Amino acid sequence: MKQKKVEKVVRKYADLVYRVAFSMLRNKDDAEDIFQDVFIKLCTENVKFLSKEHEKAWIIRVTKNKCLDFLKKSCNKTKAELNDNIKVEEKEDDSDVIKHVQSLPEKYRIVIYLFYYEGYKISEMSKILDINESTLKSQLVKARELLKEKIGEEF
């Protein structure tokens, strides 16, 4: 891809790639690594997009696959013990709903994110995630149930 075209695509999809990666990995540094990997793949592969929708779907699919690969690799790594004295910086703009969504298992987080935040239809999500539509519907129902349990009467 030509440099100007890549710059345009990066500007257009930067937030989307980061949000999808962060929703799957729940870690800023890992999401940034995936962000770089996605756009490196875009630069190094000669991908021809049929439409803007195809371009966006490709970006999301590559992001999802890179995250899944990362999670598979990180499951095999030895984890360091977390020090309880470390203070975690919380942003003021984080809403409780986002925190509850982030606490869901990965397969439910991505479904909620694409459906509610990106506005995809089940049929579109099925193609992007390469998952059967009925499976996606079940995951969406289960994700809503889990969120309802977590949020309860709070909202």
pTM more than 0.85? no
Residue that the structure tokens 């890549």 belong to: 6
User: How would you class 49 by CB atoms within 10 Å of its CB: exposed for 0-12, middle for 13-18, buried for 19 or more?
Assistant: middle
pLDDT of residue 83: 45
Neighbours of 95 (CB within 10 A): 9
* Tokens, residue 112: 């909620």
pLDDT of residue 33: 94
Residues of the chain with pLDDT under 50: 76, 78, 80-94, 155
Residue that the structure tokens 């289960």 belong to: 142
DSSP state of 8: H
Backbone angles phi, psi at 26, to 5 degrees: 55, 35
* Residue 147 CA to its chain's centroid (Å): 18
- What is the rounded CA–CA span in Å between residue 14 and residue 62? 13
- What is the rounded CA–CA span in Å between residue 72 and residue 69? 5
pLDDT of residue 73: 83
Domains observed in the chain: 1-77 (1.10.1740), 94-155 (1.10.10.10)
Q: Counting every residue, how long is the chain?
A: 155
pLDDT of residue 75: 63
pLDDT of residue 154: 54
